[in-house]
Structure 1
Amino acid sequence: MATPSNVFLVTGAAGFLGKVVLEELLRQKDTLPVSSIILLIRPKQGETARQGFDKTIASSLCFSALPEGWEKSVEVIDSELALPRCGLADADFQHITETATHIIHAAGCVKFNSTLSEALSSNTDGALNVVELARSCRRLHRIVTTSTAYVSHPGTPALAQLGPVGHPNVYSLSKCLAEHLIFERRGNLPVTIVRPSIISAALRYPEPGWIDSRAAFAGLVLCFGKGILKVVNGRRDTQLDIIPVDEVASCLIREIFQPVAFAEDPSPARIAFSVTTSRYSLSINEICQLLQEFFHQIPETGGRRFRFIGRGWLFKFNEALHHSAPLTLHSVICRFKGRLELRRQSDKALKIVKAMNVAFSHYTRRTYEFQSEGPGEQFDPRQYITVACEGVRQHLMAG
């Protein structure tokens, strides 16, 4: 039976990773053990966090294998992480600081093209406010916060240490700043920073292929499956480090149960990677071939293929030939025919694939070498890409 000392505070339950963390905590509640779970959720206009949780989060397929009525065992509190004290009411703040023993911070903005203010508010201010909340928790054993493996620069080994500030997008910049400030302000707080690579569909839990996020690799698969992505800005031999979301969730939970002796260390900060490493990663060329093979087997997407993978002026030429020209022409034709909705869809598709090739090119044009053990021999990257494709087809393409 769970001891009353293990009270988990979790952020980000509305997000892709946060849902899987919550599902794993609930599924293994007795064996971990977990006595109770508190969720910090930002309320939407006109409803409480609890109402929003019951309506949109608890109904997710992520939790379909849990016992009926599981949501009643979770405490939901209104919160705004970007505000001081995480925007908590006085009574909620007191309740959390007196009871919470473990904190998993999985909330954040994952968009590569977000504004600087949005990324800093969500990824930097939010993380620091959660750390300050943790410092006030009287019974805290450990806090684990989520960063990104891409705070490191390509071409140099990514080690478990702070990286230099200077990044290609505001996402990795905001995460890097958060890491530096957490280390600076942690005091003796037992904190672990987990750095995942590109998070995608589940490998095993809650079910193979489950995904509800169109971000990162899933967006690439989705756009190719829908027939709008035909050209990729990158090197064919670049290895793409894609990690299943349940592997990241398991890493966060493993880290939260670090031995007490570690928590008593005078310098308790720790960095852990959740990555597949180059040993268990595939090249862009291999991944694109697997995507073509997967969608070739499906009647409605059988004709899909990548027209070009490369960089420089050849990429720009092929992007114009296969993306800009046909989508712009289709938009013009729809305009003259008065088919405004189809015109809007064409314009949106062109905007999406252009933005994707800009934002994602940092990860497709160079290989990152992460110093980590990786998922182990049992992980088959080719099989996983197929699982991820099936997950995107089932859970995202219909939407």
Structure 2
Amino acid sequence: MKAMNSDVMGIPEFYSSKSVFVTGSTGFIGKVLLEKLLRSCPNIGNIYILVRPKKGLDINARVKEMFKSQLFDRLREEQPGFKEKVIPVNGDITEPGLGLNQNDRELITSAVSVVFHSAATVKFDEPLKLSIQMNVLGVKKILELCHQMKKLEAVIHVSTAYCNCDKEVIMETIYPPPLLPHNVIDAAEWMTDDVVEMLTPLIVKPRPNTYTYTKAMAEYILQKERGLLPCAIIRPSIVGAALLEPYPGWVDNYNGPSGMLIAIGKGILRTMHGNTDATCDIIPVDLATNLIIAAAWSLAIERPSNVPVYNCTTGQLNRLTWGQMERASHKYFLKTPVNRPIRIPNPYFTSSKVCRTIYLWFDHYLPAWIMDVVLWLQGKQPQMTKVQNRLWRSVKMLEYFTSNQWVFTSQNVLDLHQKLYAEDQQAFNFDVTCIDWPHYLENYCLGVKKYVLKESLDTIEDARRALNRLYVIRRFVKVIGFFIMWCLIMPRLAIARRLWHYLISLAVKILHRIPGFARS
């Protein structure tokens, strides 16, 4: 694929003076997208962000709180007045008409040129009704709004690479769902919640959860109801910490691999059902957002008649395995441990469900029970068993992805990268072959410590001392455990007694051969 003609504007020039509408701007991808647009397209027009009140905070308070994040530190330094371009709009994708009032609707439809729709529920176990409301009907409402926009040039829908995880090879195309979305939507509306919950496993099968199922429905709805709207779909795989921008290792949530790494670092998670040779398809969040921004540019410039789909993945171009993730997390959490680890970070992925179950009971629940007994004896509230129960509810949902792998084609992504000018390839990089996985994973482990757990790197020496104490405790417990087992076995087995006496006599003989020992 050849690069664009020299008379075609680059990405920053394309966004110059253009107004943008973003949903999901308070989410992980949405925040990074917002920061990148403001920083790398400094002449961009207004950015309207759809925000709903939450936890007693109105939309302005939520946006103010969001801007306190370290994510925006670099932007604050380079462009102190960036907040003036961000205009929060009161709304909710679950409400009719997105919950927009008439003034905001008229403002958006008359001014906006590019729409980024990233709002969704990412909970794997979300009830089907709510998942449909947010992930499917939300797309319908966005399209209804876009049909009213007078200056619209591009609509980017953020999906997931796993929306078609019932297939082994996933192309950059939209697949028809097994059930027509309208039938599922209608059925979910008249059925009671109990009936929908009971039927959900049958409806989503062979997909593992409501998230992947409704994301596939959303793509199909977009294709059928877009009309002549210029739309494209971005399918990120497992979105992880930033590779470079705005800071290496930046992450701010417990979702996906971040929560898993924190649990490993704390020593809470030691065993998972997973294939160490399978692909761990992590995509850094900054590379994903760069692709989103570039896809809108390409869509507006070329105006294709179809809906381009971009599989934003790493597995076929720069492969990482779950075995590499297992070893890296062990290595880097020993090098830079988290504060107050409960146990030594020592993750183990096994493809055997039997081994996983054995390890679950003896390496997770049994130590949790013992710790709870110790806490109870100290007059404290037992909590480790509850922690393990919550952890394993999350782990079970991840194990489908750690135990399987897929082949994602990515020719559209490669072609798009070739279209960019050299300076845009650098400024909006989404070339996954540039990822150095050991370096990235080390920054990721540091990132969850620094940005998610809010732990200062100045505390690393204290954390290492805490880890050394755990090593001493582990050795002591092993010795005591061996001694107890030996005491239980030896009186009952003659061979054990003979072996014990043989070892003692052998030790005495060795000591007597040491010069000076017999005379002493």
- Give the TM-score of the pair, scaled to structure 2: 0.71
| SS in structure 1 at match of 2:272 | strand
Cα distance, 1:261 vs. partner?
5.6
Match of 2:232? Answer: 192
1:12 aligns with 2:18: no
Cα distance, 1:361 vs. partner?
0.9
| SS in structure 2 at match of 1:232 | strand
Query: Greater CA deviation, 149-158 or 384-393?
Result: 149-158
Match of 1:351? Answer: 389
Residues 180, 328 of structure 1: CA spacing in aligned structure 2 closer, same or farther, 3 A cutoff?
farther
Match of 2:46? Answer: 36
Cα distance, 1:98 vs. partner?
0.8
Cα distance, 1:13 vs. partner?
1.4
Residues 205, 46 of structure 1: CA spacing in aligned structure 2 closer, same or farther, 3 A cutoff?
same
The aligned runs of 1:72-151 (5 Å cut-off) are 72-151=84-163
Residues 139, 124 of structure 1: CA spacing in aligned structure 2 closer, same or farther, 3 A cutoff?
same
Cα distance, 1:115 vs. partner?
2.4
Match of 2:452? Answer: 396
Q: Distance in 2 between matches of 1:47 and 1:215?
A: 23
| SS in structure 2 at match of 1:240 | coil
- Aligned AA for 2:169? P
| SS in structure 2 at match of 1:292 | helix
Q: Is the 8 A contact 1:147 1:179 kept in 2?
A: yes
Q: Distance in 2 between matches of 1:226 and 1:353?
A: 12
Q: Distance in 1 between matches of 2:55 and 2:162?
A: 34
Q: Number of residue pairs matched?
A: 391
Question: Aligned-residue CA RMSD in angstroms?
Answer: 2.2
Q: Distance in 1 between matches of 2:161 and 2:336?
A: 34
Q: Is the 8 A contact 1:203 1:245 kept in 2?
A: yes
Q: Distance in 2 between matches of 1:296 and 1:127?
A: 44
- Aligned AA for 2:50? L
Cα deviations by residue, 1:165-218 (Å, 9 ceiling, x for unpaired): 541011111211111111111111111110000001001111111110110011
Q: Distance in 2 between matches of 1:90 and 1:214?
A: 37
- Aligned AA for 1:382? P
Residues 235, 95 of structure 1: CA spacing in aligned structure 2 closer, same or farther, 3 A cutoff?
same
Query: Greater CA deviation, 312-321 or 375-384?
Result: 375-384
- Aligned AA for 2:436? D
Q: Distance in 1 between matches of 2:16 and 2:451?
A: 37
Cα deviations by residue, 1:80-122 (Å, 9 ceiling, x for unpaired): 1111221100111111111111001121112222222332222
- Give the TM-score of the pair, scaled to structure 1: 0.92
Q: Distance in 1 between matches of 2:134 and 2:247?
A: 29
Residues 45, 13 of structure 1: CA spacing in aligned structure 2 closer, same or farther, 3 A cutoff?
same
Match of 1:216? Answer: 256
Match of 1:252? Answer: 292
Cα deviations by residue, 1:377-397 (Å, 9 ceiling, x for unpaired): 322222212221111121123
Q: Distance in 1 between matches of 2:301 and 2:118?
A: 25
Residues 330, 118 of structure 1: CA spacing in aligned structure 2 closer, same or farther, 3 A cutoff?
farther
Cα distance, 1:155 vs. partner?
5.8
Query: Greater CA deviation, 155-164 or 352-361?
Result: 155-164
Cα distance, 1:227 vs. partner?
0.8
Q: Distance in 2 between matches of 1:192 and 1:47?
A: 33
Cα distance, 1:308 vs. partner?
5.0
Query: Greater CA deviation, 197-206 or 322-331?
Result: 322-331
The aligned runs of 1:289-304 (5 Å cut-off) are 289-298=327-336, 303-304=344-345
Match of 1:52? Answer: 62
Match of 1:168? Answer: 208
| SS in structure 2 at match of 1:39 | strand
| Match among 65, 76, 90 for residue 74 of structure 2 | 65
1:228 aligns with 2:268: yes
Match of 2:409? Answer: 371
Residues 86, 289 of structure 1: CA spacing in aligned structure 2 closer, same or farther, 3 A cutoff?
same
Q: Distance in 1 between matches of 2:376 and 2:40?
A: 55
Q: Is the 8 A contact 1:292 1:305 kept in 2?
A: yes
Residues 296, 61 of structure 1: CA spacing in aligned structure 2 closer, same or farther, 3 A cutoff?
same
Specify every segment of 5 or more residues in structure 2 that has no aligned partner in the other structure, as ranges. 1-11, 179-205, 415-429, 456-520
Q: Is the 8 A contact 1:147 1:195 kept in 2?
A: yes
Q: Is the 8 A contact 1:225 1:295 kept in 2?
A: yes
Going by fraction, where is helix more abundant, 1 or 2?
Answer: 2
Q: Is the 8 A contact 2:29 2:289 kept in 1?
A: yes
Cα deviations by residue, 1:313-350 (Å, 9 ceiling, x for unpaired): 1211111111122213333443454311xx23x13421
Q: Is the 8 A contact 2:139 2:221 kept in 1?
A: no
| SS in structure 2 at match of 1:239 | coil
Q: Distance in 2 between matches of 1:28 and 1:277?
A: 28
Q: Is the 8 A contact 1:124 1:178 kept in 2?
A: yes
| SS in structure 1 at match of 2:147 | helix
Q: Distance in 2 between matches of 1:86 and 1:98?
A: 17
- Aligned AA for 1:325? L
- Aligned AA for 2:324? E
Match of 1:383? Answer: 439
Q: Distance in 2 between matches of 1:175 and 1:244?
A: 21
Cα distance, 1:376 vs. partner?
4.2
- Aligned AA for 1:133? L
- Aligned AA for 2:402? T
Query: Greater CA deviation, 222-231 or 66-75?
Result: 66-75
